[in-house]
Amino acid sequence: MKQLILIAGLLAGVLFSTVDAAAAPPPPAATAPKPAESAANPTVQVVTSVGNFTIELNAERAPLTVAQFLKYVDQGFYTGTIFHRAIPNFVIQGGGYDAEYKLKGNPAKVVNESGNGLTNQRGTVGLARPPEPHAGDVQFYVNLNDNAELDPNQTRWGYAVFGKIVQGLDVADRISTVATGPKGPFKEDSPLKPVIIERIERVPAP
C-alpha cells in the first residue's frame, strides 16, 4: 500500500503512520457529534506557484488547530514554504520546509484533535505529524481520496481534520501529479521542481 510505503526512511516530524502508541486515544469519529455548521468559520486562500485553492476552517470542531494555523498564517510563516510530498489519490503535504528543503523555524506543537467528528474525506485538510500523537505543528495535508486509515479508532490516534477545500480542489489534484522522486531529506514522493506556497492569507468575511 502506497500510504504505508511512504513512511519508511523519512525524517520524523512530517510523516503519516497508521499505528500510533497512545495511552488514551480519542473516541472514533463514528461516535463523535456531527460537525456544526457556521458562517463564522474563517476562510483562507493558499496561493501557490501552480494555482490557488481556498480552505474553510472548522473552528467549532478543531479550535486549537485552527487557532494555531491562523496564528502562523497571520505571521506570514507559510510564505516561501513548499509542498514537499505529492502522492496522487492520497495526499499532498507541505507548509514546513522552505525551497531549500530545510525545516523552517521551530513552531509550537498542538494537542491532537482527531476525535472531533471530522473525517479524512477527499477535499478535507488535516494536520500532519510524526507518530507522537500531540506533535503536529504547522505542516498540513490535503486529502485527495477518502483516507479512512488516517481517522482515529478505539486503539489509535488519528490525524486531525481542521478544514476543507471549498474552491480549487483541482489545483491540489494537479500538484499531486507533478514529477516526484528523491529530494532533500526525502527518499521519494517529493516534487522534483518545488511547488512553492507563495503565501496563505485570510479571505475577508462577506
57 vs 171: CA distance, rounded Å: 18
Is residue 63 scored above 70 in pLDDT? yes
State the average pLDDT over residues 41-66. Answer: 98
**Which alpha helices (DSSP H) does the chain contain, by range?**
2-5, 63-75, 169-176
The per-residue DSSP string of 21-65 comes to: --SSPPPPGGGSPPPPP-TT--EEEEEETTEEEEEEE-TTT-HHH
The per-residue pLDDT for range 167-182, each reduced to its tens digit, is 999 999 999 999 999 9
Is residue 96 scored above 70 in pLDDT? yes
State the average pLDDT over residues 178-196. Answer: 97
Is residue 127 scored above 90 in pLDDT? yes
Q: Are 57 and 163 in contact (CB under 8 A)?
A: yes
Provide the 10 A C-beta neighbour count for residue 192: 11
State the average pLDDT over residues 145-164. Answer: 97
Better-scored residue on pLDDT, 24 or 56: 56
Percent of the chain at pLDDT > 70 equals: 81
Check residue 206 and give its pLDDT: 80
100 vs 196: CA distance, rounded Å: 11
24 vs 134: CA distance, rounded Å: 12
Instruction: Out of 26-35, 54-63, 113-122, pick the least confident.
Output: 26-35
Check residue 137 and give its pLDDT: 97
For domain 2-17+41-202, the CATH class is: mainly beta
Is residue 15 scored above 50 in pLDDT? no
Mean pLDDT of the chain: 86
Is residue 59 scored above 70 in pLDDT? yes
Check residue 37 and give its pLDDT: 45
Nine cell digits for residue 180: 516526484
Check residue 25 and give its pLDDT: 59
State the average pLDDT over residues 48-59. Answer: 98
